[in-house]
């Protein structure tokens, strides 16, 4: 669900100017995009209707209002479209302008919740520290846009095999089933989906009596020869998960009690000393609970 724009969410303290990315109204046709073109990310970030502009936090809201030509009847909404351990990417747009406005297929493609976007849109990037209250706007320029779109298509997953006995990261493009078929060398593998704090974990593994125990802590009881872990951002879009996240989750699973749900204190809306809503995303919750248990 999209959130009604709340200025308290944007009380970020920036001493310097920062970039935001504008997506003007355009004639982009999703049906004409060739996803098999190895340069599709470059193509998606090179359209003339995409602009990076430099602003500062003092005129942020005025700039947004003027760009959207918003009035008191408009609802400007924000949706998270990509996450990294220290950053979130969000798209802003006016909700349901009217039936006469043209659908912005490019902005709709950037969104992940299925909502159709009409008219213009803005993409912003936020730096969100996990162990402090440091929250600020980060540069959302062409480089950041390229990185975000690439990470949406080429997802990071975690893999483990009995030969190396180490967790590694790999990139996956396309159906996860194709990657799994190659990784497990066409051997039949098992699957399970687990919620851990606010992380979604999809675990594919090859179990064997000759495998190793406790590879995934308390997440799996079986002996395994190979494991593949990926995460879903939504029901339709894979997210990214790092080796560091997986190792923290596995270690925490040995001291937390199933079903590994976060305490209510992490789910309640709270504000910091500057009256900003604290963004308790999955990274912040994981790092803080890990610190509580292992004093990093």
Please write the tens of the pLDDT for every residue from 88-112. 999 999 987 666 678 999 999 999 9
* 170 and 220 assigned to the same domain: yes
Q: Which of 114, 140, 166 is the last residue of a domain?
A: 140
In total, how many domains does the chain have? 2
User: CA 177 to CA 224: how far, in whole Å?
Assistant: 19
Q: Is residue 196 part of a domain?
A: yes
* 17 and 135 assigned to the same domain: yes
* 129 and 166 assigned to the same domain: no
Q: The whole model's pTM is what?
A: 0.90
Q: Which of 253, 271, 291 is the last residue of a domain?
A: 253
Q: Is residue 37 part of a domain?
A: yes
User: CA 218 to CA 224: how far, in whole Å?
Assistant: 13
* 157 and 244 assigned to the same domain: yes
* 8 and 94 assigned to the same domain: yes
> 129: which DSSP letter?
-
Q: Is residue 132 part of a domain?
A: yes
The residue count of the chain comes to 296
Residues of the chain with pLDDT under 70: 1-13, 97-100, 274, 296
How high is the pLDDT of residue 13? 62
* 45 and 173 assigned to the same domain: no
How high is the pLDDT of residue 12? 58
User: CA 201 to CA 68: how far, in whole Å?
Assistant: 38
Q: Which of 116, 140, 164 is the last residue of a domain?
A: 140
Q: Is residue 17 part of a domain?
A: yes
Q: Is residue 166 part of a domain?
A: yes
* 111 and 211 assigned to the same domain: no
Provide the residue range defining the domain that includes 241: 153-253
* 31 and 135 assigned to the same domain: yes
Helix (H) or strand (E) holding 193: strand 190-196
Task: Please enumerate in sequence order all residues whose Cβ is within 8 A of that of 33, keeping only pairs 6 or more positions apart, or say none.
Answer: 40, 43, 44
* 76 and 166 assigned to the same domain: no
Q: Is residue 277 part of a domain?
A: no
* 18 and 130 assigned to the same domain: yes
* 126 and 13 assigned to the same domain: yes
* 67 and 107 assigned to the same domain: yes
Each residue's pLDDT tens digit, 137-158: 999 999 999 999 999 999 999 9
Q: Is residue 101 part of a domain?
A: yes
Q: Is residue 271 part of a domain?
A: no
């Amino acid at each position: 669900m999209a959130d009604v724009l709340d200025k308290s969410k944007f009380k970020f303290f920036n001493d310097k100017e920062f970039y935001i990315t504008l997506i003007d109204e355009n004639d982009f046709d999703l049906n004409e995009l060739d996803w098999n073109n190895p340069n599709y990310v470059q193509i998606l970030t090179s359209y003339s209707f995409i602009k990076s502009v430099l602003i500062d936090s003092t005129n942020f809201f005025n700039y947004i209002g003027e760009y959207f030509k918003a009035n008191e009847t408009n609802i400007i909404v924000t949706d998270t479209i990509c996450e990294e351990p220290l950053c979130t990417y969000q798209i802003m747009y006016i909700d349901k302008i009217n039936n006469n406005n043209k659908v912005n297929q490019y902005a709709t493609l950037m969104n992940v919740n299925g909502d159709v976007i009409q008219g213009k849109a803005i993409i912003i990037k936020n730096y969100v520290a996990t162990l402090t209250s440091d929250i600020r706007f980060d540069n959302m320029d062409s480089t950041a846009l390229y990185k975000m779109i690439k990470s949406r298509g080429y997802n990071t997953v975690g893999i483990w095999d009995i030969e190396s006995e180490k967790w590694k990261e790999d990139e996956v493009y396309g159906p996860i089933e194709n990657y799994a078929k190659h990784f497990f060398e066409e051997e039949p593998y098992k699957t399970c989906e687990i919620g851990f704090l606010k992380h979604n974990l999809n675990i594919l593994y090859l179990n064997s009596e000759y495998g190793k125990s406790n590879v995934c802590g308390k997440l799996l009881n079986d002996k395994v020869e190979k494991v593949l872990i990926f995460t879903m951002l939504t029901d339709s879009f894979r997210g990214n998960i790092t080796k560091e996240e997986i190792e923290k989750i596995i270690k925490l699973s040995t001291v937390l009690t199933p079903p590994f749900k976060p305490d209510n204190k992490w789910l309640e809306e709270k504000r910091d000393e500057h009256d900003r809503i604290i963004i308790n995303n999955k990274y912040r919750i994981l790092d803080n609970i890990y610190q509580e248990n292992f004093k990093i």
